[in-house]
């Protein structure tokens, strides 16, 4: 089930909210657990069993690690738990990629396995890993109630596209969370803003990106339109989903970590990754980069650590070489920045450092969306007219005019400009009147777009 669907918005959500707030507190977690399984079952009727099995693994090994804490067995159980969790992820997500490359490089003919990627497996596997590692490191108390652990892992607001909520973040909230009108209304606001980002901007620009992909009439302008629209689409799609997840979390009394902080206003790629998919970046920092030694080691190992983290970050996004290239692309840029570029970037005029980030990120998403190296190079080359393509074609001009306002909206809302204007306006009474009206209008508008059955994929579901 996806958040931006009628089924979720006007059937699932009101029913779950209704039951959740009617039942006594002691049953609220159970309601969320059942709702989360139904939510997942709707999208993955078979793989719901896989998720249940994964939860069982996390539960058993969590208990074992805790039970044998201070003994050599704790580490053994940690390794076993991690191995099984990553093993499942490897099988369902990477097996065919590995087979494909073995066949390619070793001239073997191993048959592909016929498995579909379970939705959200990368997200919930990482949550389980953080739980097991934190229990082992005594940063988290073991959860002895399997229903509560299952509720944490399967919690539907963040189950299939994050943010990657760590157990330590909501450990206390599982038993002691507060429900207030203020928190609920903040959740509603956040949810509707996220829904609007997704439905009104990401989906609309996604149509433009898709139109480009099916067109034969290429021009430099069209390549730029594609690159910019794809860049905006992925941001509004993913950050919109995170906003909805955080908003829903608040409606059910939870506080999740922020996942985006206006990444397109970053002044360096280092800064960009502090603002983009924060929960994933901090996960890799805490569970891979620092355990590998981080930067408190020799320069060579430090650089190795960075490349390992970014190779894994790339692979986390997908089992294909373009994701590997994408991850290493950022790893190399980050190394260059850390070694010498950062000090120059600081001295650059703001506009130039912003352009530097936007250009590199735009190219990164061309790599991200590319199917093969030839296509990626041709799309990057298309931006500067390689291949003798015209500067403008009638089709590209038409779509520039057609999507100009949405793109401008996307650019404006990708910055904190509107938020800052709203916050700095002193007319509190007026703001308090306008805010509910704006939210209702946005909800109705989003509903209209969904009812019209427009383009509505969630890009991050595939991870």
Partner 1 sequence: MNEKTKNKIITIGFIAILFSFLLANILKKDQAVSISERRKLAQFPTITLENIVNGKTFQEIDKYTVDQFISRDSFRSIKSIWSNYIFRQKDNNGLFLKDGCIYKIEYPLNEKNVQKTSNKIKNIYEKYLNSNMNVYYSLIPDKNYYLEGDHLKIDVDNMQSIMKNILPEMQYIDITDALSLDDYYKTDLHWKQENLGRVVSVLRDKMNLETTSNLDYQTETLGKFYGTYYGQLGIKVEPDVIKILTNDIIENSQVYNYEKTRNESVYNMEKWQTSSDKYDVYLSGATPLLTIENKNGPKGKELLLFRDSFGSSITPLLIENYEKITLIDSRYISTKILDNYINFKNQDVLFLYSTLIVNQNVLKD
Considering beta carbons, is residue 229 or 353 the nearer one to partner 1?
A: 229
Kindly state whether residue 349 participates in binding partner 1, applying the rule CB under 8 A.
no
Give the residue from 118, 195, 100 showing the smallest Cα distance to 154.
Answer: 118
- End-to-end Cα spacing for the chain: 16
Binding-site member from 87, 381, 390, 436 for partner 1 (CB under 8 A): 436
Give the residue from 243, 240, 244, 242 showing the smallest Cα distance to 232.
Answer: 240
Min CB(457)–partner 1 separation in Å: 13
Kindly state whether residue 210 participates in binding partner 1, applying the rule CB under 8 A.
no
Kindly state whether residue 10 participates in binding partner 1, applying the rule CB under 8 A.
yes
Considering beta carbons, is residue 296 or 401 the nearer one to partner 1?
A: 401
Give the residue from 211, 162, 171, 156 showing the smallest Cα distance to 1.
Answer: 156
CA distances, 43 to each of 9, 39, 150, 227, 362 (Å)? 15, 7, 18, 30, 31
Binding-site member from 188, 325, 332, 345 for partner 1 (CB under 8 A): 188
Considering beta carbons, is residue 325 or 438 the nearer one to partner 1?
A: 438
Half-sphere exposure of 121 (CA within 13 A, CB side): 26
Helices and strands, counts by H and E, the chain: 23, 0
Considering beta carbons, is residue 351 or 444 the nearer one to partner 1?
A: 444
Name, in order, each residue with C-beta under 8 angstroms of 3's C-beta and a sequence gap of 6 or more: 9, 191, 194, 195, 198, 241, 244, 248
Interatomic CA distance for residues 126 and 121, integer angstroms: 8
Binding-site member from 24, 349, 388, 453 for partner 1 (CB under 8 A): 453
Cis peptide before 359 (omega within 30 of 0): no
x-or-dash string of contact with partner 1, 224-263, rule CB under 8 A: ----------------------------------------
Min CB(6)–partner 1 separation in Å: 4
Min CB(441)–partner 1 separation in Å: 10
Min CB(413)–partner 1 separation in Å: 13
Are 208 and 229 in contact, with CB atoms under 8 Å apart? yes
Considering beta carbons, is residue 7 or 295 the nearer one to partner 1?
A: 7
**Sign of dihedral through CA atoms 134, 137, 143, 144?**
positive
Are 220 and 385 in contact, with CB atoms under 8 Å apart? yes
Binding-site member from 25, 83, 175, 217 for partner 1 (CB under 8 A): 217
Considering beta carbons, is residue 43 or 294 the nearer one to partner 1?
A: 43
Min CB(339)–partner 1 separation in Å: 44
Considering beta carbons, is residue 374 or 432 the nearer one to partner 1?
A: 432
Catalytic residue chosen out of the listed positions 179, 277, 317, 354: 317
Min CB(432)–partner 1 separation in Å: 4
Angle between helices 28-43 and 48-67 in degrees, nearest 10: 130
Considering beta carbons, is residue 1 or 334 the nearer one to partner 1?
A: 1
Min CB(456)–partner 1 separation in Å: 10
* Residues in 107-126 at the binding interface with partner 1, rule: CB under 8 A: none
- Let me know if 317 is a catalytic residue: yes
Min CB(182)–partner 1 separation in Å: 5
DSSP secondary structure letter of residue 371: S
Give the residue from 336, 293, 280 showing the smallest Cα distance to 460.
Answer: 280
Interatomic CA distance for residues 370 and 210, integer angstroms: 13
x-or-dash string of contact with partner 1, 366-405, rule CB under 8 A: ----------------------------xx-xx--xxxxx
* Residues in 29-68 at the binding interface with partner 1, rule: CB under 8 A: 42-46
Give the residue from 404, 388, 390 showing the smallest Cα distance to 221.
Answer: 390
Interatomic CA distance for residues 399 and 395, integer angstroms: 6
CA distances, 59 to each of 72, 255, 286 (Å)? 19, 23, 22
* Residues in 292-321 at the binding interface with partner 1, rule: CB under 8 A: none
Give the residue from 317, 246, 248, 250 showing the smallest Cα distance to 281.
Answer: 317
Min CB(219)–partner 1 separation in Å: 13
Considering beta carbons, is residue 76 or 430 the nearer one to partner 1?
A: 430
For partner 1 (CB under 8 A), the number of binding residues is 59
Are 47 and 39 in contact, with CB atoms under 8 Å apart? no
* Residues within the interface to partner 1 (CB under 8 A): 1, 5-7, 9-11, 13-15, 17-18, 42-46, 181-182, 184-186, 188-189, 192, 204, 215-217, 394-395, 397-398, 401-406, 409, 428-429, 432-433, 435-436, 439-440, 443-445, 447-454
Give me the active site residues, please: 317
């Amino acid at each position: 089930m996806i958040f931006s669907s009628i089924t979720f918005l006007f059937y699932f959500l009101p029913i779950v909210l209704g039951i959740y707030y009617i039942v006594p507190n002691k049953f609220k977690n159970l309601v969320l657990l059942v709702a989360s399984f139904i939510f997942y079952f709707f999208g993955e009727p078979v793989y719901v069993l896989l998720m249940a099995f994964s939860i069982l693994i996390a539960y058993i090994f969590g208990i074992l690690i805790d039970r044998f804490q201070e003994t050599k067995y704790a580490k053994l159980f940690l390794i076993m738990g991690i191995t099984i969790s990553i093993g499942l992820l490897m099988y369902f997500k990477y097996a065919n990629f590995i087979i494909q490359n073995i066949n390619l490089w070793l001239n073997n003919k191993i048959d592909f396995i016929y498995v579909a990627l379970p939705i959200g497996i990368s997200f919930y596997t990482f949550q389980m890993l953080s739980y097991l590692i934190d229990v082992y490191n005594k940063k988290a108390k073991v959860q002895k109630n399997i229903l509560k652990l299952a509720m944490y892992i399967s919690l539907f607001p963040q189950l299939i596209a994050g943010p990657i909520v760590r157990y330590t973040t909501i450990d206390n909230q599982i038993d002691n969370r507060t429900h207030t009108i203020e928190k609920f209304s903040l959740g509603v606001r956040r949810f509707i803003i996220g829904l609007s980002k997704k439905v009104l901007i990401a989906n609309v620009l996604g149509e433009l990106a898709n139109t480009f992909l099916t067109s034969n009439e290429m021009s430099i302008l069209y390549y730029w339109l594609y690159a910019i629209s794809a860049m905006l689409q992925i941001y509004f799609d993913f950050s919109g989903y995170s906003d909805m997840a955080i908003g829903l979390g608040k409606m059910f009394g939870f506080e999740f970590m922020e996942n985006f902080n206006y990444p397109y206003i970053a002044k360096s790629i280092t800064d960009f990754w502090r603002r983009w998919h924060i929960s994933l970046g901090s996960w890799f920092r805490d569970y891979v980069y620092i355990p590998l030694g981080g930067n408190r080691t020799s320069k060579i190992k430090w650089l190795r650590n960075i490349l390992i983290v970014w190779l894994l970050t790339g692979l986390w996004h997908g089992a294909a070489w373009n994701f590997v290239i994408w991850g290493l692309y950022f790893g190399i840029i980050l190394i260059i920045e850390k070694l010498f570029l950062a000090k120059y970037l600081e001295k650059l005029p703001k506009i130039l450092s912003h352009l530097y980030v936007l250009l590199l990120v735009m190219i990164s998403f061309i790599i991200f969306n590319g199917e093969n190296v030839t296509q990626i190079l041709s799309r990057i080359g298309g931006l500067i007219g390689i291949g003798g393509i015209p500067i403008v074609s009638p089709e590209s001009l038409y779509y520039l005019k057609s999507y100009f306002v949405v793109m401008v909206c996307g650019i404006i809302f990708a910055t904190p400009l509107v938020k800052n204007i709203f916050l700095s306006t002193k007319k509190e009474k007026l703001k308090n009147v306008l805010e509910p009206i704006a939210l209702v209008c946005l909800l109705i508008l989003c509903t209209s777009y969904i009812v019209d059955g427009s383009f509505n994929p969630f890009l991050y579901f595939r991870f």
